[in-house]
Every structure is written in C-alpha cells, then in structure tokens.
Amino acid sequence: MPESKIHFDRVCLEYPKNGNKSGLRFARTPRPNGQSTLVLENIDLEIETGEFVSIIGHSGCGKSSLLKIVAGFVRPTGGSIWIDGRPVEGPRADHMFVFQEGALFPWLTILKNVSLALNSARDQADRIKMARQYLELVSLEAYEDYYPHMLSGGMRQRAELARALAARPDVLLVDEPFSGLDYLTRLQMREEILYLHMMLEKTTILFVTHDIDEALQLSDRVVIMSGPPGRLQSCRPICVAHPRQLSSSVLDEMRSDIYHQLGVHAAL
C-alpha cells in the first residue's frame, strides 16, 4: 500500500488518433488501438503531504493532462493514481483543480461563486459568512457583489483560488493559473499562493507551469517532464527557505540546470 500523499503508478494516457478532445468532458476512456497517440508514458511519482511540487515542461508534453488525471477528469489508459491510499476514480471536492482559463461562473457574483463550493454548510447565512472569509483570504471582500467580468484578470484568478480553497481541499491542482496575467500581477500572485500555502500547511499543491522562475520561487520540488510523449525526466528538490532570492547563486545554478535539461540554450 503506497504511503505517500499522491502516488503515481505507471500512469499512461493514449488518445485515439482521430478522436476529438471534447470527449474529455465525459471522461471517456479513449480506446487504445494501433491508431493512437501516446500522451503520457509510465509516469511514476511520489508526492508527500503538504509538499509544493511544480511540474515543468514544454507545451504539449502532457503536463496538463497529467494534472487532469490527478483531478479525476480524465481516466488514464494505463496505470493508476492513488491519493491517501485510495485510487482516483473521479473528481472530488477535496482534490480541487484551479483552471487555466476563467472558470468562474459569469452569471454569479464572486461571493456566490465562492459560496457554491460550500454546499456542505448547513444554511444559506452560514455559507455567505464563510464565503466572505475566503474572499478576505484573497483580499477581495470589497468586491463580493461584482460579476467576474467586472474584475481584472488577477482578481478573477484570486477569486478562483478562493472558490477552490472554500471546498477545503487537501490537494490543490493548479494548471498554469497565471499564464494569462501581466508580469507584475504574476509576481503578486506568487506571493499570494505562497502565503496561502503557508497558511494551509497540510495542503499539497501540484503546480503546472512553464515559468521556471515561478517554479523556483514557489516549490519544494521541481519535476521536469519531457515529451511528447510525456515522460518524467528528473526531479530537483529546492531546499531554500522562503522568501527566496531568485538571484541567489543556488537558484541561479538550478535555473541553468533546468534550462539545460529542457534543451533551451538561448536563455543562458
């Protein structure tokens, strides 16, 4: 029986070649046949409770697909994922996915968006009160009656985080959440997520990104993927205390190493 928080056991994913990706919506298992594309190949990984792990790789290497398998949106065609010793069989509120694009419901105010995650609360008044607390956590309490489109990209992303956290997940799956934001907002969001991770120390975070600095600043461990087909290339623990100085020699060396592994030389 696996003892780690998240245990990846030879996870494979294949898509039929002429299959459409929209089938993902129903989490159908693509039928493996001769005409298929291998997306992920034998991913083995252990993640400990409370760990902040970043997954880095070129676009198309399958890192988002891997995250969707952990979330239970997509069923692997081979292998399995275990969380707390239980196999992942579908989406659950304690493994929250934070989406890349705006996934807030545009027809609900952000307060109502957040309160939707609190469907276990007893009565409406309780829900609203708790939803406000989560909005305070991301400093959006003044905007509770705003609809998502009235907020800036950074605020939307924070509201999305608040909604995910309101479900009280013990695993947070974050898929390039800041890629649509401007540079300054991204820096702010890094602080935000670091602060949240320290507040909720038992929460395990799996963070997909292609921003190496983001990974270096935030994570306890960086997982580098190659592909397609997606394979684990290497893991690099980062044993530097927060707040981290990105220009420090340790991180600098690590950065060059990651660039090298990814086969990017221009940046050096």
Partner 1 sequence: MSVSACNVEMFPDIARILRALYRLILDGSLLKHCVASLFRVTVGFYLAIVTAVPLGVLLGLYRTLYRIVNPVIQFLRPISPLAWAPFAILWFGIGDLPAIFIIFLACFFPLLIAAVDASANINPIYFQVGANLQLSRWSAFANIILPAIIPNVMLALRMTLGMAWVVVVAAEMIGMKSGLGFLIVDGRDALRLDRVAAAMLVIGLIGLVLDRIMQQLGELESLRWKNARK
Residues binding partner 1 (CB under 8 A) = 22, 24-25, 71, 73, 90-93, 95-97, 99, 101, 103, 105-108, 116-117, 119, 147, 149-150, 167
Sequential DSSP letters for 2-47: --SSEEEEEEEEEEETT--GGGGGGTPPPPP-TTEEEEEEEEEEEE
> In the complex, what is the shortest distance from the CB of residue 123 to partner 1, in angstroms, rounded to a whole number?
15
> In the complex, what is the shortest distance from the CB of residue 173 to partner 1, in angstroms, rounded to a whole number?
9
> In the complex, what is the shortest distance from the CB of residue 259 to partner 1, in angstroms, rounded to a whole number?
32
Closest CA to 168 of 123, 199, 190: 199
CA-to-CA distance for 180 and 184, rounded, in angstroms? 12
* Nearer residue to partner 1 within complex by CB, 148 or 227: 148
* Nearer residue to partner 1 within complex by CB, 101 or 182: 101
Q: For residue 161, give the H/E element and its range.
A: helix 153-166
* Nearer residue to partner 1 within complex by CB, 149 or 202: 149
* Nearer residue to partner 1 within complex by CB, 107 or 183: 107
Q: For residue 258, give the H/E element and its range.
A: helix 249-262
> In the complex, what is the shortest distance from the CB of residue 117 to partner 1, in angstroms, rounded to a whole number?
5
